[in-house]
């Protein structure tokens, strides 16, 4: 059978030092609200009936070939700079793993699936609103070419939850995500905290073999650690460059929220910026702006520094710093490449890019230059400037402070076919500001109207098709 699901048990085979066996919650109801057949197809699960889907992703009956019960993964982490050894999967677990036809390993992890030994007094549940918000974030980021977890499933579970950050009681749900890994920076931090060097080496070999495809996964532990650390630095730096170009603010970039494979995941109080501002924050409790839009690359480097410290028994301090110094180069390279990709131009001088970003960060809000619209308005570079400046919406770009930007873009060559894409993009200008998110949720909350959400997802996917985001990320 073509693309038949192939469950594997690689994480379970690591042993109980890496997880606790846990039990899923028993929910009073199971209403399928979203199934992502596009994501399911990659691992051969798209042919499941809705009843089977609910059995596996709502009731968590074991999929044939999965030999283990749910695994609550163990990890620690720095939360807003403070180390917390009392962490771990508190409302989720690793449900199953599958190999796709290209031998890529995918994790299915849950959110809102009940209490575990790491719940710390929490109810282990997820609000339906939280699930809808995560779905929207992953869909728009995918369209914009950002490596992210994919929301595979949302099932409403029929409970009333009390929360202090949204009107309560509020509806409950369980979400299943598909991600390339659920190994976090905090996973390594926990092992280092307990001086479990043998387990660090075991995890290094697991990651390099199954996620980084290193032919040297049987090399010496020191060589392996260096290769792993450098690869993780490169992947996270690459994601950070794309996040900035996409105008995304994760909100809570604690070390337990960093996937070592570079995928963005674990969405909480995220936002997309309206106007470019370094100081814009997504979390109302981020009082000092630690994870503001402009601070995200620095937060990533800080988190990677903690990963380096976790590997100090395997890598010299000098070599750790040498590898960390690769972050800036890779971040700026990613920023440049993704800026060109999103703007439909062949290349741009790094100094010119820095000037454009500086102007956007300092002038967009005062001149009402919407960050997302900038990429639509000038898609194709020099080919779009004249038409844009002649239009009614282009008047905002004629301010003195912005003239340098248009002068720079006049000299940039467009992609082949960008003029055709520009026409299609003008019919598919999508953004995802907080007001729209709230309106989508309002239709669900007040009227049980899911059509607005479904329509938005289809439009975001249409945008991704125009941009051909599948050529740069694998979803």
CA distance 123 to 197: 33
The verdict on whether 256 is a catalytic residue reads yes
300, 253 contact by CB (below 8 A)? yes
Cβ-proximal residues to 142 (8 Å cutoff; 6+ apart), any chain:
148, 150, 460, 464, 469, 473, 475
3-state secondary structure 346-394: CCCCHHHHHHHHHHHHHHCCCCCCCHHHHHHHCCCCHHHHHHHHHCCHH
Beta strands 170-179 and 248-249 are unpaired
What is the separation of C-alpha 104 from the centre of its chain, rounded to a whole number of angstroms?
18
Query: 104 φ, ψ to 5°?
Result: -85, 135
Q: Count the helices and strands in the chain (H runs, E runs).
A: 16, 13
Cis peptide upstream of residue 57 (ω within 30 degrees of 0): no
Active-site choice (89, 107, 227, 256) = 256
Number of residues in the chain: 475
DSSP-based three-state secondary structure for 324: helix
Positive or negative: CA dihedral 304, 307, 308, 309: positive
Place of tokens 């630095």: 233
Place of tokens 């110094």: 325
Cβ-proximal residues to 306 (8 Å cutoff; 6+ apart), any chain:
78, 185, 189, 255
Task: Classify burial at 163, counting beta carbons within 10 Å of its beta carbon; exposed 0-12, middle 13-18, buried 19 or more.
Answer: middle
36, 151 contact by CB (below 8 A)? yes
Task: Classify burial at 382, counting beta carbons within 10 Å of its beta carbon; exposed 0-12, middle 13-18, buried 19 or more.
Answer: middle
Cβ-proximal residues to 56 (8 Å cutoff; 6+ apart), any chain:
48, 63
User: For residue 18, which of 79, 88, 121 has the smallest C-alpha distance?
Assistant: 88
| Residues designated catalytic | 256
């Amino acid at each position: 059978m073509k693309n038949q699901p192939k469950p594997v048990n690689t994480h379970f085979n690591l042993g109980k030092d890496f997880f606790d066996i846990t039990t899923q919650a028993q929910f009073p109801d199971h209403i399928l609200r979203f199934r992502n057949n596009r994501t399911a197809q990659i691992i051969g699960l798209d042919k499941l009936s809705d009843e089977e889907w609910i059995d596996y992703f709502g009731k968590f009956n074991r999929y044939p070939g999965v030999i283990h019960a749910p695994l609550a993964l163990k990890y620690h982490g720095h939360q807003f700079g403070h180390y917390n050894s009392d962490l771990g999967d508190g409302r989720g677990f690793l449900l199953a793993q599958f190999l796709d036809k290209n031998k890529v390993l995918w994790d299915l992890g849950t959110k809102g699936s009940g209490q575990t030994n790491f719940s710390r007094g929490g109810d282990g549940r997820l609000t339906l609103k939280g699930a809808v918000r995560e779905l929207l974030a992953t869909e728009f980021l995918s369209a914009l070419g950002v490596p992210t977890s994919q929301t595979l499933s949302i099932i409403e579970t029929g409970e009333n939850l009390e929360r202090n950050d949204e009107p309560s009681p509020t509806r409950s749900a369980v979400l299943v995500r598909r991600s390339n890994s659920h190994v976090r920076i905090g996973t390594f931090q926990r092992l280092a905290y307990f001086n479990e060097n043998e387990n660090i080496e075991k995890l290094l070999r697991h990651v390099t073999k199954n996620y980084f495809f290193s032919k040297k996964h049987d090399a010496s532990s020191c060589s392996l650690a260096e290769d792993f650390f450098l690869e993780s630095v490169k992947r996270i730096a690459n994601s950070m460059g794309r996040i900035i170009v996409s105008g995304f603010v994760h909100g809570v970039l604690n070390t337990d929220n960093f996937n070592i494979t570079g995928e963005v995941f674990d969405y909480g109080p995220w936002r997309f910026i309206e106007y470019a501002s370094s100081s814009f924050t997504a979390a109302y409790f981020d009082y000092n702006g630690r994870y503001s839009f402009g601070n995200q690359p620095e937060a990533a480097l800080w988190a990677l520094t903690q990963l380096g410290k976790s590997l100090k028994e395997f890598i010299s301090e000098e070599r750790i710093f040498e590898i960390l110094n690769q972050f800036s180069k890779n971040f700026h390279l990613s920023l440049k490449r993704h800026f060109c990709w999103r703007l439909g131009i062949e290349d741009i001088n790094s100094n010119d890019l820095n000037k454009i970003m500086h102007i956007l960060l300092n002038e967009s809000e005062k001149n009402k230059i919407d960050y997302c619209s900038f990429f639509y308005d000038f898609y194709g570079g020099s080919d779009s400037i004249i038409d844009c400046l002649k239009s009614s919406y282009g008047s905002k770009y004629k301010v003195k402070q912005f003239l340098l930007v248009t002068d720079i873009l006049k000299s940039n060559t467009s992609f082949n076919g960008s003029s055709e894409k520009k026409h299609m993009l003008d019919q598919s200008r999508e953004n995802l500001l907080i007001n729209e998110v709230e309106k989508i949720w309002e239709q669900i909350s007040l009227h049980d109207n899911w059509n607005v959400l479904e329509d938005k997802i289809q439009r975001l996917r249409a945008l991704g098709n125009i941009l051909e985001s599948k050529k740069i990320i694998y979803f």
